[in-house]
């Protein structure tokens, strides 16, 4: 046995510096330097980040469409940019995290997210749209910017039935301003994605560093659970801001008809981004002073001249008879993995590329040495020692001593590259791994697409205001996730589910829950507008206006706007704060007004209750199967490939699933649009949807995606059953969850 030797020639003052809270030479001892305080601050960071990004974005998606004239695909792109940014920034942050102090990255994480939130909020003040503005100097309210009357003139040179909209000829409109506002909106969320990487990459290793090995996994589970709760609460709290009008105008100065349930209402979506951005900046300053608890870049330095490397070929290293759990019939415990620090990971790849043979030697001695015989193979890094517990055998391969010459280093790098390519090739040939990844991929599409747009579905299908719709969505997500994940893990432990049983349970739940989407087929009628023969003639002039009004004598008759009905006169009654529109070319004796319109909330109560129950069970079952699905994936591959398998799975799901989900469901919504509102720059946003087509499209899309996930899981199950049916049961007493698994479970 040849133990690893770490360099320990460290300046005591430098070592003390990285174990105390503070900045530079200003350091303080006490509770601020305790690991528990650092952990609490880190949990606050992930809570605020998920609260401000994941929660706020999902809550304001329909409001952003109204403000920036976005169609559903474009609003889906806004959501997808966040996940796309993390794909590019995660490798760089992961690499630099081993070279510099971790709290620096945590601080930059929060400050960058703060900048992104402020940029998103600032886009509201750059954008120029046709929102309602009111003169606050008078008791009555009247439009000062958006004229909804019929004001067109004939122009023989134009082909819009010789009618031209005079609104777009005003000097106030500038296309470049609107483009800049939209660019700022997208850039802010992309920056949020870049900045949010450190907490769920370096943060995992930081927690592993500050806590004992046996406690780190549980602390990491709590850490990610806090982030999940933050995202759900963010939806609820942000929705409350939407009850305030976007201009912060007091309710008594608003028209009586302009309420949060009115289609023209625009909530104060930008204010929470300013508040959340400020909180992120403040917590970023606090977290920057946390101790690193090790000297950056030196903790894992190794005296390579003292390293003894087993002489084992690559063929022996990846021998199928080596430690291979994907075909092993004698699995007795649930194997887990812990995430090593980046420096340790590279160190292992360079120095111990031959450790995965059938009979590898034990490289370290530890108090847990007596537990390694016939036990679990577990790679984990402790702050003081590198553990690599392997089954003890009586034979050991011959060894040769190497030096850290450039030639040897180059050969080692080439060998590592070949081993990595060989590992990827082996995973792609693994049928069970490929199909469980496919199942995870379609689940990622469903989660990232269904959750944001279910808020919009409630809003248009059941005529709810945006604030109430976000409250319902947040409550469903919060309760289902908090209850679903623990119950899934409890059942797996209670009944000692083997991996093949986990695959069977996932198959059953996925296929059965796919039929719950069919409950969305039942729909409620959308807003019905009256169309007269003259309305089609007026439409070319009014395509930039959406302002619902009703006939004062017959309130059930609703029109898209006074312009569509050809009204050219507006009268303000100060006594009851009412606007009347008259002298309409469709009917001169008809008077229209916004006040007489009645917008029902939840017109189909039975359908609404069924939808609520179906959505709750869908999210619950999705959370319930996260732990079993992760175990199926881990047991589909042999232990040496687990980290690579998780990394490939996460990359595929994030790139192909989480970025395409919002775009796919956005496209589904756009196809059901009835009334498009086009501004002067040809930007379009939908104002009225065909609820029947919307519900049918949502139901079939969700059903198809969930059914594909179920079929993929069934292939894994039957492949496992008919090819390797002699698998032993797993003792619930030996079931443990560690960092990678906790991370994967709670990040869904």
Distance CA 35, CA 383 (A): 13
Distance CA 329, CA 334 (A): 13
pLDDT tens column, 523-551 = 888 888 887 777 777 877 887 888 899 98
Backbone angles phi, psi at 549, to 5 degrees: -135, 160
Give, in order, the Cα–Cα distances in Å from 339 to each of 201, 265, 748: 10, 48, 18
Residue % of the chain over a pLDDT of 90: 27
Report residue 326's pLDDT band, with 50, 70 and 90 as the boundaries.
very low
Identify any residues that bridge with 689 across adjacent strands, giving them in sequence order.
Answer: 673
Distance CA 145, CA 134 (A): 9
Report residue 245's pLDDT band, with 50, 70 and 90 as the boundaries.
very high
Report residue 481's pLDDT band, with 50, 70 and 90 as the boundaries.
confident
Distance CA 662, CA 446 (A): 9
Q: What is the pLDDT of residue 746?
A: 39
pLDDT, greater one: 56 or 422: 56
In eight-state DSSP terms, residue 144 is S
DSSP string, 574-623: TTTTEEEEEEESS-TT--EESTT----SSS-HHHHHHHHHHHHHHHHHHH
Q: What is the pLDDT of residue 724?
A: 60
> Helix or strand or coil: residue 688?
strand
DSSP string, 105-128: HHHHHHHHHHHHHHHHHHHHHH--
Distance CA 493, CA 67 (A): 49
Q: What is the pLDDT of residue 381?
A: 31
Q: Tokens 């011959």 correspond to what residue?
A: 398
- Which among 379, 445, 451 has a CA at the least distance from the CA of 646? 379
Q: What is the pLDDT of residue 407?
A: 62
Whether 645 and 519 have beta carbons less than 8 Å apart is answered as no
583: region left, alpha or beta (phi > 0 left; psi from -120 to 50 alpha): left
Average pLDDT score over the chain:
75
**Count of CB atoms within 10 A of residue 493's CB?**
17
Distance CA 549, CA 571 (A): 14
Whether 503 and 716 have beta carbons less than 8 Å apart is answered as yes
> Helix or strand or coil: residue 174?
coil
Q: What is the pLDDT of residue 303?
A: 41
Report residue 346's pLDDT band, with 50, 70 and 90 as the boundaries.
very low
User: Residues 675-702: what's their mean pLDDT?
Assistant: 88
518: region left, alpha or beta (phi > 0 left; psi from -120 to 50 alpha): alpha
Whether 646 and 629 have beta carbons less than 8 Å apart is answered as no
Backbone angles phi, psi at 262, to 5 degrees: -80, 145
- Which among 285, 239, 278 has a CA at the least distance from the CA of 117? 278
Q: What is the pLDDT of residue 450?
A: 86
Identify any residues that bridge with 27 across adjacent strands, giving them in sequence order.
Answer: 22
- Which among 535, 561, 536, 563 has a CA at the least distance from the CA of 151? 563
Backbone angles phi, psi at 593, to 5 degrees: -160, 155
Check pLDDT > 50 for residue 364.
Answer: no
Q: What is the pLDDT of residue 744?
A: 44
Least reliable range by pLDDT among 114-118, 122-126, 263-267, 679-683: 679-683
Q: What is the pLDDT of residue 337?
A: 35
Kindly state the tokens that stand for 144.
């000062």
Q: What is the pLDDT of residue 114?
A: 96
Termini Cα distance of the chain: 42
Report residue 519's pLDDT band, with 50, 70 and 90 as the boundaries.
confident
Q: What is the pLDDT of residue 298?
A: 58
**Count of CB atoms within 10 A of residue 691's CB?**
21
Q: Tokens 């506002």 correspond to what residue?
A: 181
Kindly state the tokens that stand for 438.
């496919």
Among 97-101, 160-164, 544-548, top mean pLDDT goes to 544-548
- Helix, strand, coil shares of the chain, percent, nearest 5, are 55, 10, 35
**β-strand pairing of 592-593 with 673-678:** unpaired
Among 97-106, 131-140, 352-361, 667-676, top mean pLDDT goes to 667-676
Distance CA 425, CA 491 (A): 35
Domains of the chain: 32-150+174-294 (1.20.1250.20), 419-523+602-730 (1.20.1250.20), 526-533+544-601 (no CATH)
Check pLDDT > 70 for residue 250.
Answer: yes
Distance CA 279, CA 111 (A): 10
pLDDT, greater one: 411 or 80: 80
Whether 526 and 674 have beta carbons less than 8 Å apart is answered as yes
Residue % of the chain over a pLDDT of 70: 72
């Amino acid at each position: 046995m040849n133990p690893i030797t770490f360099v320990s020639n460290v300046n005591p003052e430098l070592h003390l510096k990285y174990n105390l809270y503070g900045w530079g030479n200003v350091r303080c001892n006490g509770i601020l330097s305790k690991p528990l305080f650092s952990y609490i601050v880190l949990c606050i960071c992930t809570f605020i980040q998920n609260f401000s990004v994941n929660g706020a974005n999902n809550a304001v998606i329909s409001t952003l469409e109204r403000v920036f004239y976005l169609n559903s695909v474009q609003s889906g792109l806004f959501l997808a940019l966040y996940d796309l940014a993390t794909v590019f920034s995660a490798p760089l942050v992961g690499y630099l995290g081993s070279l510099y102090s971790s709290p620096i990255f945590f601080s930059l994480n929060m400050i960058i997210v703060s900048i992104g939130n402020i940029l998103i909020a600032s886009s509201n003040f750059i954008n120029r749209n046709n929102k309602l503005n009111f003169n606050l100097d008078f008791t009555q309210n009247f439009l000062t910017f958006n004229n909804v009357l019929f004001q067109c003139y004939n122009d023989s040179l134009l082909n819009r039935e010789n009618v031209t909209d005079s609104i777009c000829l005003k000097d106030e409109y500038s296309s470049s301003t609107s483009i800049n506002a939209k660019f700022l909106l997208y850039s802010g969320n992309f920056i949020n994605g870049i900045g949010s990487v450190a907490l769920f990459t370096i943060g995992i290793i930081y927690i592993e560093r500050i806590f004992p090995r046996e406690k780190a996994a549980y602390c990491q589970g709590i850490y990610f659970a806090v982030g999940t709760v933050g995202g759900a609460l963010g939806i609820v709290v942000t929705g409350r801001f939407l009850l305030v009008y976007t201009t912060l105008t007091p309710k008594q100065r608003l028209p009586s008809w302009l309420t949060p349930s009115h289609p023209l209402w625009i909530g104060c979506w930008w204010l929470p981004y300013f508040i959340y951005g400020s909180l992120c900046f403040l917590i970023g300053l606090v977290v920057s002073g946390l101790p690193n608890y090790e000297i950056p870049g030196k903790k894992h330095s190794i005296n390579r001249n003292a390293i003894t490397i087993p002489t084992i070929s690559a063929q022996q290293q990846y021998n199928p008879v080596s430690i291979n759990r994907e075909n092993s019939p004698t699995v007795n415990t649930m194997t887990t993995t812990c995430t090593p620090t980046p420096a340790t990971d590279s160190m292992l790849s360079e120095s111990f590329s031959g450790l995965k043979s059938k009979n590898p030697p034990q490289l370290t001695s530890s108090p847990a040495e007596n537990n390694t015989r016939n036990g679990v193979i577990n790679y984990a890094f402790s702050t003081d020692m590198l553990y690599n517990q392997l089954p003890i055998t009586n034979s050991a391969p011959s060894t040769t001593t190497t030096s850290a010459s450039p030639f040897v280093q180059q050969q080692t790098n080439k060998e590592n590259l070949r081993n990595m390519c060989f590992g990827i090739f082996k995973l792609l040939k693994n049928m069970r791994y490929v199909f469980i990844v496919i199942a995870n991929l379609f689940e990622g599409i469903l989660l990232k697409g269904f959750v944001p747009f279910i808020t919009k579905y409630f809003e248009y299908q059941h005529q709810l205001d945006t604030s109430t719709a976000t409250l319902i969505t947040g409550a469903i997500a919060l309760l289902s996730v908090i209850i679903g994940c623990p119950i899934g893990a409890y059942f797996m432990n209670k009944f000692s589910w083997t991996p093949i049983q986990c695959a069977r349970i996932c198959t059953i739940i996925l296929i059965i829950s796919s039929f719950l989407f069919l409950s969305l087929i039942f729909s409620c009628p959308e807003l019905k507008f009256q169309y007269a023969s003259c309305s089609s003639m007026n439409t070319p002039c009014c395509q930039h206006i959406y302002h619902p009004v009703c006939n004062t004598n017959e309130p059930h008759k609703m029109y898209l706007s006074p312009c569509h009905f050809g009204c050219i006169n507006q009268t303000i009654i100060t006594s009851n704060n009412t606007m009347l529109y008259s002298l309409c070319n469709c009917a001169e004796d008809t008077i229209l007004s916004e006040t007489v319109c009645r917008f029902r909330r939840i017109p189909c109560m039975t359908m609404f209750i069924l939808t609520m129950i179906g959505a709750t069970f869908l999210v619950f079952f999705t959370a319930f199967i996260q732990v079993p699905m992760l175990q199926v994936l881990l047991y589909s591959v042999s232990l040496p490939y687990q980290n690579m398998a998780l990394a490939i799975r996460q990359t595929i799901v994030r790139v192909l699933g989480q970025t395409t989900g919002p775009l796919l469901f956005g496209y589904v919504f756009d196809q059901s649009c009835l009334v498009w509102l086009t501004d002067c720059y040809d930007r379009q946003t939908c104002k009225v949807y065909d609820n029947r087509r919307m519900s049918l499209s949502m139901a079939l899309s969700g059903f198809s995606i969930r059914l594909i996930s179920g079929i993929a899981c069934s292939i894994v199950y039957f492949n496992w059953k008919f090819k390797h049916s002699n698998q032993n049961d797993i003792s619930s007493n030996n079931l443990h969850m560690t960092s990678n698994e906790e991370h994967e479970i709670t990040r869904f």
